[in-house]
Chain A
Amino acid sequence: MTANTNGAALSRPVSRRGFLAWSGGVLAAAALSACSTGSNGQSSSATHGLLLPGDVPPHWDRVRAAVNEKLEADLGFEVSPEFINWSNYASQSLLKFTAGENFQTALSARWLNIARLIEAGALHPLDDALTSGDYPNLTAMVDQAAFDANRWPDGAIYGVPAVNSAGRIHHHIARGDLIDKYAGGNIETFDQLEKFWYDVLQKEGIPGYIRNNTPFDTLGAPTGALYAQGWESPDLLPLYFSSDSVFFVPSRDAATTGSTNAVPFWEYEPYVESLHRIRKYYEDGIINADRLNADSADLKARFDSGGAASTWGITDGLDTAGHLDQLTKAVPGASLVTLLPFRDGQSAKPNQTFQADNLVVVNAAAADIDAALQLLDWVSIKENHDLLQYGEEGTDWEAAGDDGYDPIGEYANFPGYALSWRIPLERKYARMSESEESWFEWSKVYDNFTLDPYASFIPDLTEIETEHAQITAAVAEYGNPLYAGAVDVEEGLDKLKAAVDEAGLAKVQEELNRQADAYLASQ
Chain B
Amino acid sequence: MSTDLKAATESAPAAPRGIRQKRDYGLVILAAPAVILLLVFAYGPMAGLVVAFQDFNVADGVFGSPWAGLENFEFFFTSGNASRILWNTLFLNILFLAATLGAGVLLALMLNEIRGRVTKRFWQSVIFVPYFVSPIVVSIFLQAFLAGPGGRGGLVNDFFNVLSLPELSWYTDPGPWPWILTVVKVWHLGGYMSVIFLAAITAVPEEVYEAGVIDGASRAQMAFRITVPLLKPTAAILLVLGIGRIFYGDFATIYAIVGDNGTLFETTDVIDTYVFRALRTQGDFGTTAAIGLFQSVVGFVLVVIATLVQRKYARETAIL
Contacts and interface: CB of A to CB of B under 8 A. Distances in A.
A25 B29 contact: yes
A302 B149 contact: yes
Contacts of A486: 171-172, 263
A349 to B, nearest CB: 34
Contacts of B281: 91, 94, 244, 469, 472-473, 476
Name which of B58, B149, B260 has the most chain A CB atoms within 10 A of its CB. Answer: B58
B284 interface: yes
A294 B151 contact: yes
Contact of B278 (A100, A307, A473, A478): A473
A113 B287 CA distance: 18
A499 B150 contact: no
B255 to A, nearest CB: 11
B74 A466 contact: yes
A207 B287 CA distance: 41
Interface stretch (A14-22, A184-192, A232-240, A409-417): A14-22
Contacts of A489: none
Interface string B143-154: 100010111100
Interface stretch (B20-28, B105-113, B119-127, B294-302): B20-28
A305 to B, nearest CB: 11
A163 interface: no
Given A293-B261, A469-B278, A31 B33 contact: yes
A27 B30 contact: yes
Interface in B109-161: 143, 147, 149-152
Interface residues of B, number: 53
A466 B76 CA distance: 9
Interface stretch (B3-11, B77-85, B218-226, B227-235): B77-85
Interface string B250-283: 0000000011111101000100001001111111
Contacts of B258: 293
A476 B26 contact: no
A72 B36 CA distance: 40
Interface string A482-523: 000011000000000001001100000000000000000000
Interface stretch (A116-124, A253-261, A418-426): A116-124
A252 B151 CA distance: 39
Contact of B151 (A117, A288, A364, A499): A288
A290 B29 contact: no
Given A244-B281, A476-B281, A23 B30 contact: yes
Interface string A297-315: 0000010000100000000
A310 B227 CA distance: 62
Interface residues of A, number: 60
B80 A24 contact: no
Given A469-B75, A473-B81, A502-B80, A481 B33 contact: no
Contact of A17 (B26, B260, B280, B284): B26
A400 interface: no
A116 B59 CA distance: 13
Name, among A28, A210, A244, A466, the residue most crowded by chain B CB atoms within 10 Å (CB to CB): A466
A476 B260 contact: yes
Interface in A9-50: 16-21, 23-25, 27-28, 30-31
A121 B55 CA distance: 12
A481 B264 CA distance: 10
Interface of A: 16-21, 23-25, 27-28, 30-31, 91-92, 94-95, 97-100, 113, 116-117, 119-122, 207, 210, 244, 285, 288-294, 302, 307, 364-365, 465-466, 469-470, 472-473, 476-481, 486-487, 499, 502-503
20 contacts: A16-B26, A18-B26, A24-B32, A98-B57, A98-B284, A99-B285, A285-B152, A289-B151, A289-B152, A290-B147, A292-B263, A293-B143, A307-B150, A365-B58, A466-B71, A469-B282, A476-B265, A477-B262, A487-B172, A503-B80
Q: Closest 4 A-B residue pairs measured CB to CB?
A: A121-B59, A24-B29, A20-B26, A289-B151
Interface of B: 23, 25-34, 36-37, 57-61, 71, 74-75, 78-81, 143, 147, 149-152, 169, 171-172, 258-263, 265, 269, 274, 277-285, 287
